[in-house]
Amino acid sequence: MMQTEQVMEGKRISSWITLLLAAACGLIVANLYYAQTLVGPISAATGLSSDAAGLIVTLTQIGYVVGLLFIVPLSDIIENRRLAVLSLLVVVCALIAATFTPNAILFLTASLFIGLGSVVAQILVPYATYLSSEEQRGRVVGNVMSGLLLGIMLARPVASFIASLWGWHAVFALSAVIIALLSLLLSRILPERKPSPTMNYGELIVSLGALLKQTPVLRRRGIYQACLFGAFSLFWTTAPLRLADDFGLSQQGIALFALAGVGGAVAAPIAGRLADKGWTRFLTGLAMIIAALSFLLAYLFQGNSTTVLGLLVLAAITLDMAVSGNLVLGQRAIYTLGSEARGRLNGLFMSIFFVGGAIGSSLGGWTYAHGGWSLTSLVGMILPILAFLYFLTEKRA
C-alpha cells in the first residue's frame, strides 16, 4: 500500500535505515570527487589539453548545481523512492560512458550527467527527516550527513589508490557496479514517500525565488555555510600543492594526508545531537571561530618540518569538523521550516553554499599562484571571519 507523507511524517526511523541512507549518500556524492585526483591521466587518455583539463571537475560541479535547482525540487511533488532510483540509473549510465569513452567530448558530457544524477544524495537527506520524529531529527540528519561527508573525504584517496592498481577506468567501472547495486537495494528496502503537491513543476521552479526571498533563515544559513565551504574548498584546492612543493610528498602521500579530513566527519552526528538540545546558535558561532583558527594555525606555522606538517594535519581536521558540524546545523534549521517545501529548501541551501565552494576553489588557485601559502591562509581565515560578523547580526530567538 502507498504510504502518504502524512502517514510517514513523525515516525521513528530505524538504525538500519539510517545506516543505509548514510552509506548511500556517501557512495553517491563520492562520484563528484573521484576525478579530482585523476585529471592528469584522464586528460592524457582523452586528449584534453592542460588548459581544458579543469573542465572535468567543473562540468561535474555544473551538473550538480543544475540538479540541485531542477531535480531536487521534484521531491516535493514526485514519489521520492522512484525519483531517487531513476536518477541513480542516470548516474550508472554516465559512469559506464566515462569508463569506455574514447574522446574528451563524450567524457565531459558523461561528467556533466554524473554531477546531474548525483543530486540523489540531496533527495535522500531530507527524505530521512520525513522518516524521523521531531526529537530525533537532528541526530538522524547528523548521522546521514556523516556518511555523505565520509564519501566526500574518502573519494580522492580511494580514487588514487584504485587508479594506481588498475588504472583510472577502474574507478568509474567499480562505481558503476556499486551504484547499480545500490539502486536495486534502495528500490527494495526504502518505504515509499508520496508528497501531496499543491503546484505543478513550472510553479515549483518559479516558487524557488519566492522561497529564497521569504525565508530569512534559509538565506542566513546558506551564507554561513557558503563562507565555511568556500574556506574548505580553498584549503583542499591548495593543500595538495603545498604538500608537493614544500614537503615533497608523492601522490600517495597526499592521499594519506587527505585521509586526515575523515576525522572531521565525527563532528556531524555530535552537532546534530547537540542541536536537538537547543545548542544551534552557540555551535554555529563556535564552528566559525574554529574554522578561522584553523587557518590562523596554518598561517603562523610555515616551513617544511615534520612539526609543521603535523600542525597542518591538525588544521585540516579542525577545519573539516567546523564545516561538517555547521552543515548539519544549517540543514536541521531549514528542515524545521515546513515539510511541504523541504526538497526545494534543501536544493536552494545546497546551491548557495556549493557556489561558495566553487568561489573558494577559484580563490585558492589564484591566491596560491600570486601570494603562496601565506596569502592563501589569510584569505581562508577571512571567509569564516566574515561569516562570524554576519552571525553577530542574527537576532536571538
Using one digit for the tens of pLDDT, what is the confidence trace for 67-84? 988 998 888 888 999 999
pLDDT at residue 12 in the model: 65
User: Distance between CA atoms of 395 and 331, rounded to whole angstroms?
Assistant: 19
Q: What's residue 278's pLDDT? A: 84
Q: Which residues contact 174 (CB under 8 A, 6 or more apart)?
A: 162
Looking at residues 235-254, what average pLDDT do you find? 80
Residues 302-306: what's their mean pLDDT?
Answer: 87
User: In terms of Cα–Cα distance, which of 12, 27, 8, 40 is closest to 240?
Assistant: 40
Report pLDDT for 3.
Answer: 42
pLDDT, position 53: 61
Position 4 pLDDT exceeds 60? no
Residue 134 pLDDT > 60 = yes
Model confidence band, residue 366 (pLDDT cutoffs 50, 70, 90): confident
52, burial (CB in 10 Å: exposed 0-12, middle 13-18, buried 19+): middle
Q: How far apart are CA 324 and CA 189, in angstroms?
A: 28
Taken in order of first residue, the domains within the chain and their CATH numbers are 1-197 (1.20.1250.20), 202-397 (1.20.1250.20)
Specify burial of residue 14 (Cβ count, 10 A radius: 0-12, 13-18, 19+): exposed
The C-alpha atoms of residue 113 and residue 98 are separated, in whole angstroms, by: 10
For residue 31, pLDDT beyond 70 = yes
Give pLDDT, residue 50: 55
Q: How confident is the model at residue 219 (pLDDT cuts 50, 70, 90)?
A: very high
pLDDT at 312 over 70: yes
Give the confidence band of 8 by pLDDT, cuts at 50, 70, 90: very low
Instruction: State which H helix or E strand residue 339 sits in.
Output: none
The enclosing H or E element of 371 equals helix 342-391
pLDDT-based confidence at 5, cuts 50/70/90? very low
Q: What's the pLDDT band for 51 if we cut at 50, 70, 90?
A: low
pLDDT for position 11: 60
Alpha carbons 175 and 35: distance in angstroms, whole number: 12
- pLDDT at residue 90, as a whole number: 97
Distance CA 120, CA 182 (A): 12
- In this prediction, residue 136 carries a pLDDT of 73
- What's the pLDDT tens digit per position in 101-125? 888 999 999 999 999 999 999 899 8
* Backbone phi and psi for residue 312, each to the nearest 5 degrees, phi listed first: -65, -35
Dihedral sign, CA of 262, 57, 96, 190?
A: positive
The residue ranking higher by pLDDT, 98 or 249, is 98
